Amino acid sequence: MNRRGPAALFLTGALFVLSYALGTPGYDLPGLPFVCLAPFLALAVSARSARQAAWRGWVAGTAGSIPLYYWIAYTVGVQGKLGWVLGALAAFLVSAYVGAYFSVTAAAARLLEGRFGERGLWLFPAVWTTVEMARSSLFTGFPWMLLGYSVAGSGTLRQAADLAGVHGLSFLLALSGVSVCLAGKRLSDRFSAKAAIPLIPGVAAILFLVPRTMRYGAVTLLAVFALAFGLHALAGEWHLTLLVYAAGVLFVRVHGVRGDRWNSGKATSC
């Protein structure tokens, strides 16, 4: 991909930081989780080498993580009574640690693009998901604010976590990011007639997921109720756990589809 000047790099990085941070729980700007990795990929593949891509990934990932972990400064500095200097340092170090995983994915994206061309970026969702799984396990694990958590505010999309877990949601969002990145590249190269082609996998995945999870929620509800009534018919008593679970599924279906929130935005923060 074309190399970028300092101003373009700064704007691309700022676009990633804003779209990534503002799409997470607590901010919940709709649509941003599906596009936030596009500028991140643009930063990575425009680097001269995998090492430079890793550096860019670390800077971007750290900057994008600070708005998510800023509260650590208050927790350490005020509640822990260690002072704002140590609090700010703690928040930065946590963000820098998370940024290291962004660094790995950026280097991998650059290597894939360099080896296979833009087609290699279609492997990036698998890389991103693998790195997130590693972050969730290494050094006792740090699974906070994985990309898949950013759809927690959607009553429809978050149901897919029951099918594939949060890592499955991360894979879907990374796939969408690749689609947007490649479509943007074709537009910048004035291939406007072909710009929509890379969007097809991302759009197809989303269109497949949304109705599937809506049907899945309804089927799950019916199955649980059927099992509860079946046990009642066989044993002559109600299975309280199943009924409570069914009531919970019904509540999520009704309130989630309508777009209602729980009483506090913190309830959807993972």
Measure the CA–CA gap between 146 and 128, rounded to whole angstroms: 10
> What is the DSSP annotation of 30-62?
TTHHHHTHHHHHHHHHTSSSHHHHHHHHHHHHH
Measure the CA–CA gap between 23 and 146, rounded to whole angstroms: 12
Joined together, the tokens standing for residue 3 give 């190399």
| The length of the chain, given as a count of residues | 270
Pick the more confident residue, 159 or 114. 114
pLDDT at 260: 40
pTM for the whole structure? 0.76
CA dist list (Å): 143 to 133, 134, 206, 266: 8, 9, 24, 17
185 pLDDT higher than 90: no
Joined together, the tokens standing for residue 168 give 């499955």
pLDDT at 89: 96
Average pLDDT over residues 185-207: 66
Lowest model confidence (mean pLDDT) among 24-33, 132-141, 175-184, 216-225:
216-225
117: left (phi over 0), alpha (psi -120 to 50) or beta: left
Residue ranges per structural domain of the chain: 6-208
Measure the CA–CA gap between 57 and 213, rounded to whole angstroms: 33
pLDDT at 259: 40
Task: Give per-residue pLDDT as tens, 203-256.
Answer: 766 665 565 555 565 656 666 666 666 555 555 555 555 555 556 555 555 444
Joined together, the tokens standing for residue 53 give 């891509």
Contact 269/26 with Cβ under 8 angstroms? yes
Pick the more confident residue, 257 or 10. 10
Pick the more confident residue, 187 or 50. 50
pLDDT at 41: 96
* Cβ-proximal residues to 29 (8 Å cutoff; 6+ apart), any chain: 22, 23
Measure the CA–CA gap between 20 and 209, rounded to whole angstroms: 21
Amino acid at 121: L
* Cβ-proximal residues to 207 (8 Å cutoff; 6+ apart), any chain: none
Residue in the block written with tokens 């490649």:
182
Q: Report the chain's C-alpha Rg in angstroms.
A: 21
Joined together, the tokens standing for residue 164 give 């594939």
CA dist list (Å): 27 to 54, 67, 166: 27, 10, 19
pLDDT at 223: 62
Task: Give per-residue pLDDT as tens, 142-154.
Answer: 998 999 998 887 7
Task: Give per-residue pLDDT as tens, 26-81.
Answer: 888 888 999 999 999 999 999 999 999 999 999 999 999 999 999 999 999 999 99
Amino acid at 155: G
pLDDT at 151: 85
Measure the CA–CA gap between 101 and 27, rounded to whole angstroms: 22
Neighbours of 253 (CB within 10 A): 18
Contact 143/136 with Cβ under 8 angstroms? yes
